[in-house]
Structure 1
Amino acid sequence: MGFVEKILLDKGISKVIAGYLSFSIELVLLIIICLLANFITKRVVLNIISKTVYKNNIKWDDFLVERKVFHRISNIVPFAIIYMSAPIFGSFKEAIQRIVQAIILVISILVVSAILNAIDDVYKTYPISKIRPITGTLQIVKILSWILIGIALAATLSGTNPIAILSGIGVLSALITIMFKDPILGFVAGIQLTTNNMIQIGDWVEMTKYGANGHVVEIHLSTIKIRNFDQTIISVPAYAFLSDSFKNWRGISEAGGRRIMRSILIDISSIRFCSEEMIENFKKINYLKDYIIAKEEEFKKYNNKDKHNMNSLMNGKHLTNIACFRAYIEEYLKSDPRISKEHTIMARQLAPNENGLPIEIYAFATDIDLKKYEEIQFDIFDHLFAVVNEFQLRIFQNPSGYDIKQIGKIL
């Protein structure tokens, strides 16, 4: 017999009516207390916690507030009051307590998820997060937490032993394996990717099969998000980085330079020995002066030693315009502050083909930003195309419709 019911019976009210009235009054009081407790926790306690958190110098607790961890915990208060007041419901006490326990378990899932998200946010503030992301690991913890709380929830509602439910899960293991195939594969792939340091947040990766060519922005349990250069977002399965080939351009930034490897096609018919006049002109070029003098002395010693008949250019050694052009390119690249001096700088001949003789420029730009890198290449090749005529060389180019028209006019 409750306190309210006893008072009503003392007033001379019948037992049945007193029972209904006492239950109604206690229920209304319980609702008022729950609403009041919810108001106090949400409007007073949470405000005090938020102000205290933002005023102190500790940063990690800011993420707890932003992820609404305390807000979700406060939702437990009214249900805890209902659980403790369950005896007023008489024969419904056990059922009410089970329902309340189930609700508290659901709130607990949300609280655990919020705490794990906050941990991830805190971890991302450290540089190590780009090398060893833990998002996938935390997602595994979330899944395990959901499974455990789900088992507890089922046991609470059914009134059975959680161990009995766990033993029944073994029968469904095959189904669970199929349902969680991607998370399982992604988890295994994530461990291998991070352990072997194959991919990090911020890496520029290229996977033609999936249309991905951009920077890694997020690494999750089963997928890896890549922001392409056109700002589209591509989600690639984590295990695809193990089963398929991909290109990681991280080595560019680690090496401190981005490779330039592009060719100029020279018309082979324009290659010739240098005349005396050409040599004198080349000596006036700052980038070639030392090279010309050194080569003249070298060739003079060689030709005098073997007593070649110098009436023919086919005898002995002589400077060629293509050799001078290559020397000029290398010295020009060395003088450019945007070209790394710690890496190979070279202008080399490739095998001639139907399009002429390729002179390949091989060097490394110090700026790896795409736009700056392209600007460096533009400047280099603009200059080389402009000066190639000074070496009496011609750039090879297939005849265009305009060229054919000009020939037609001459004929």
Structure 2
Amino acid sequence: MIESVERVLEQTLPYEWLSQGILILFGITVLVLLALVIYLITRLTLLKLLIKIVHKTSLQWDDLLVKNKIFHRCLHLLTVSLLQSFNKTVFEGQQSVLNINATLLNLLFILVIIAILDALINLTYDLWHRIPNSHRLPAKSLVQAVKLVLYSIGFIFILSAILDKSPAVFLSGLGALTAVLLLVFKEPILGLVAGIQLSTNDLVQVGDWIEMPSHATDGTVVDISLTTLKVENWNQTISSIPMQSLITNSFKNWRHMSASGGRRIKRSIIIDTNSLKFLDAALIEQLKKIPLIKEYLEEKLEEIDSYNNQTSNKNKIPRHLTNIGVFRKYCLEYLKHHPQINSEMTLIVRQLAPTGQGIPLEIWTYSDTTNWVIYESIQSDLFDHLFTAMNSFELRAYQRPNGKDLYLNKDDSIKIDL
């Protein structure tokens, strides 16, 4: 058939180069049409059969073959192989058409092989994520590094096919281009090294909550790639951090807090020193009505009475209960009996050094959840109660004077209630 087409072109066209060009175009067109026919036949028959078999099996990993289009790309390889055989058979006598078609088919063959290897890498990545604790290793960065090497080697083979040179010629020249390659691939190389260090030391994983002030980042890690780490901040923005920055700069990882099952509550109540006093009989009787500290008050009063009634020198200073001390005990007992406080973790109610505003009474405890919304609700409820309970102990929280604290008395003189 090709000889007949060639004779018709030679008889019809006056120029040999024009007839050769049209003949080459005809050969390429024949291959394209044949490729479409082979692809449609294999897609409508063989591919559908393979997919149906995969869906009927009880295995799960074979579904990944369909997801990553392994079968599709293998059929492309079959199509190119059949075209190569067809080209050698049909265009055997036409060297120019045969060579051009062979070059194009070789390029397609290389691209299909790269596509199959790329799909196999994706398949391996998906299988890796099905392994328990696989998130500890940032496999995505390794996958991207392997793909970068694959594409580089594929580019060399494509050049060798176009220029009809051995791949060894291009590979031997890589030594002289080492400095240029290091400059071009500086970020991927640094990112790969940083990713290996981060995974080896288990510093960060997808899903971790990290803070990095140098990059104004505070949120959850959503992706770890070869060159960047993506963080979804609490305001729903996305921060992209170079991988090497996680090695050169400091950052805070809250993963251990999330794994511990409790989140720290650390806040102080500033108590006005003017409200401190010893407990009188009336206030003691009132506080005994509080179940959490009733037993404590009875034990302390017995201990104090015993101490004060002992015979001793006249300079002995008698002991008394203070409202701040009893309130501190109340806070401790309240937290111990609170159902949303983690009793297995540190629980402290302590008095800090006095300041110009008053005496800080610090609450140091842990909630029984790490959920941010629930944690904030627990913390708010705790201090809502404690601030309100202070009135029962005749204590006042410090607050800077405002306009309401200034008022006129009956004599029109200014009185300041601090």
Query: 2:170 corresponds to which residue?
Result: 165
Instruction: Tell whether the 8 Å contact from 2:220 to 2:231 is kept in structure 1 after alignment.
Output: yes
Q: Report whether the alignment pairs 1:45 with 2:50.
A: no
- 1:205-250 deviation digits (Å, cap 9, x = unpaired): 0112222211111111111111112222211111111111101001
2:195–2:243 CA contact under 8 A, matched in 1: yes
Q: Note the 1:93-108 alignment, pairs <5 A.
A: 93-108=98-113
What code does the residue aligned with 1:286 have?
P
- For residue 391 of structure 2, give the secondary structure of its aligned residue in structure 1: helix
| Aligned residue among 169, 185, 188 for 1:183 | 188
Q: CA deviation at 1:278?
A: 1.6
Question: Given that residues 287 and 331 in structure 1 are in contact (C-alpha distance below 8 angstroms), is that contact kept between their aligned partners in structure 2?
Answer: yes
User: For residue 257 of structure 1, what is the aligned residue in structure 2?
Assistant: 262
> Contact 2:35 / 2:79 at 8 angstroms: preserved in 1?
yes
Could you tell me how far 1:255 is from its partner in structure 2? 1.7
1:194: Cα distance to partner? Answer: 0.7
**1:323 maps to 2:325:** yes
Aligned letter for 2:83? I
Aligned to 1:76: 77
| Equivalent residues of 2:28, 2:101 under 8 A apart | no
Superimposed CA distance per residue, residues 163-199 of structure 1 (whole angstroms, 9 cap, x where no aligned partner): 2211111111111111111111111111111111111
What is the TM-score of this pair, normalised by structure 1? 0.89
Runs (4 or more) in structure 1 with deviation over 4 Å come to 13-17, 19-32, 405-410
Separation of aligned partners in 1, 2:24 and 2:163: 27
Gaps of 5+ in 1: none
Indicate the residue corresponding to 2:156 in structure 1.
Answer: 151
* Cα offset, 1:65, TM superposition: 1.6
Q: How does 1:120-131 map to 2 (within 5 A)?
A: 120-131=125-136
Percent same amino acid at aligned positions?
A: 36
Q: CA deviation at 1:288?
A: 0.6
Find the partner of 1:290 among 282, 295, 300. Answer: 295
Which residue number in structure 2 is paired with residue 300 of structure 1?
305
Q: 3-state DSSP class of the match of 1:265?
A: strand
Kept in 2, the 8 Å contact 1:130–1:202? The answer is: no
Equivalent in 212, 232, 235 of residue 230 of structure 1: 235
Partner of 1:91: 95
Secondary structure of 2:138 counterpart:
coil
Q: CA contact under 8 A between 2:287 and 2:392: conserved in structure 1?
A: no
Cα displacement (A) at 1:383 = 0.4
Alignment of 1:326-365 (within 5 A): 326-365=328-367
| Structure with more helix by fraction | 1
Shift of 1:31: 4.8
Q: Which moved more, 1:205-214 or 1:24-33?
A: 24-33
Shift of 1:28: 7.1
Find the residue that maps to 1:126 and give its secondary structure. Answer: coil
Contact in 1 for aligned 2:73/2:115 (Cα 8 Å): yes
Structure 2 unaligned residues grouped into runs of 5+:
12-18
Contact 1:206 1:247 in 2 (8 A): yes
**Cα distance in structure 2, aligned partners of 1:405 and 1:86:** 104
Aligned residue pairs total 401
Which residue pairs with 1:207 in the alignment? 212
**CA offsets, 1:19-59, max 9 Å, x none?**
99999998776555322211012222222222222222222
- Structure 1, 158-167 or 89-98: larger mean CA deviation: 89-98
In 1, distance between residues paired with 2:196 and 2:25?
A: 58
1:56-71 matches, cutoff 5 A: 56-71=57-72
Q: Which moved more, 1:213-222 or 1:68-77?
A: 68-77
- Structure 1 residue 124 displacement after superposition: 2.4
1:150-170 per-residue CA deviation (whole Å, 9 max, x = no partner) reads 222222222222222111111
Distance 1:373 1:278 in 2: 34
Amino acid at match of 1:75: H
Shift of 1:352: 1.0
**Matched residue SS, 1:375:** helix
- CA separation of 1:96/1:352 partners in 2, compared to 1, >3 Å: closer, same or farther? same
Q: 1:402 to 1:277 in 2, by over 3 A?
A: closer
* 1:47-99 CA distance string (max 9 Å, x none): 22222222222222222322323223322333222222233332122332222
Distance in 2 separating the partners of 1:330 and 1:308: 36
- Given residue 345 of structure 1, which amino acid in structure 2 is its aligned partner? L
